[in-house]
Chain A
């Protein structure tokens, strides 16, 4: 009897307490109506794994198109509304020139302008920005820009040529204690001269027609001198003052950046009013991939950005979410390659480097990197990634082609046997994607008879090993946005560049580089590039190219529109001025 009575009395007590917690949870969840993701009109099928188009060779002296015409969308955008974009990280510093990674430009570049800019649809064509016209000196060592009148900074002050001069002098000679890792090339500026009210000339140390691309790159933005020279410098969002299509409104470091449209932006849309179409644009950090997928699925964000490392989950998410969201892929200029330490054995020997180069089967690597969908997640590359004008020819070159692969493998094995090399240790970043990639690379070498031991560490730990030349090989995945073959050579492979432990180049490389930089005719530039590649493959071999990830991907709600095909292209270099939302947007 006693037992029964106590049970009767305990259960209600338990139920009361348990129900209280349940009610608290339900009420917390139910405060906000679930955001319905609007069903958009049918749109074109996504092409998540399409290989990027081959990069056109730059035309160094091409006459610029008028700005509005060059950037005109094929159809009128709709004005108003806002979008929220979820990214893995946002900024860590207000002056994004001070850091190397591209999280900061993703959130801040839309507030600034460059002298010239890349066309977002291909990432290589130069378009007008602050400068409406430009010319390259006969010796390819000076650039003259004609700058627009009447451009205003977000604080209402006029942009002057002094601001441009100050910006690039700062890049050339950073203040004490500062360095701008992505602006290394600008240190070769020798002189900046203001010619008249609208004309400025920038001279560089050595002839290089491709140098103009540095002014278009994400880090080559123009600052307001009067803001930057205020006490404290770039110490908060109120110092993010540019001339770009968006004005910073509210921001929290590492969390979000909200911007409103700049009504005085200097480039007009086809409807005659200034870009941008959107009233507001927000970038928010959602570090976890599942959180980003959930946010786009529930309409909390309109665009979710995914790194190459998150490509597979993004494809999976697309399949799960269905037709309210599409995917677009941004080609990356960067490549994955294996860095060899030429300051010590075994790769201080050209034969060992050649063995490593020949034993690495790039087509096999591509095959191993296939996505669950069966598509390839990477394309084989040479030393210059997508800026290589001959990237399409890579699968057909002797050491890569299926037809001659056996021969290349045999030569590689013979060299390895001669030197007695049976494998090596590879330094790898601890992030899971890089470990997976390294395991695939190890598999490729294992197929060729070499054993690879992986040494896994975080970015700073690996950088120390590499800086101290305390490694044999490392897997390098530079997501660099280097604009040209010459920039790749200078900033990656030649002494003073990133590959500090690469083998010193044969002297002829310098002559060929001078030929390339001085070439004003694309035919001459192509000839020089071909010869550089031959020398690199046969007489130098600074690295072993692995391949290039197809790109980072974006899941985009179908109510977000822009020029056809442009939204997913070169997203990290995008100022978002020609993006709009249609009437289905919950944020219209």
Chain B
């Protein structure tokens, strides 16, 4: 399968899975917290497409369904166990701390920034192989001290970690501008001697090329790297005059909707337009 088609397939697979979970939430069949990730599928499909399942490892956050849906073969079965009629008898850690013994997803955490240093320890244990540890964070988690601490630790110990920063501009209902100074992650990373790359949301084709090159180089290096992805999480709601893009609850969608929106604001629509050519 050609690369573009592969990425598209993973993205649609993730979307389809989320739509089913979304429906189960609307129908009241799932009550435990699930952080849907409509609009995040490009980055997870990209990571999946260059990921070596036998070697690499993935460290996720509470919003992880766009990864678990395409990395974990048991995701359907595990989510089935989240259904109300099964949950009582199922020993689960839930969606935010997704757990599957037989997958490359080694750890997921519901605590902001908690997965960073755990990923660093895991990467230290993998030093002798050419494997990569991928650690996903959001723009909220990088406000935690553990982000800086782990970048420093990874650089000092020469750990092969790809930090995937999914920047959707929201932490709960608050934009970056509403809560803090818009710090320069590039300069922060570079001040610790770590390479940084930015992935603009609409540059689908060049992002794929850029990502491939970075991962090829990282596999040969003993160094961490920071990749920041611009994300538009779908599922906005109104809070007074404010439009909140952070999405937690379900959307009014049927399970056959491929797209949330039939325009470029939906990453899947955009990906299909660019990668199908």
Does B bind A?
Answer: no
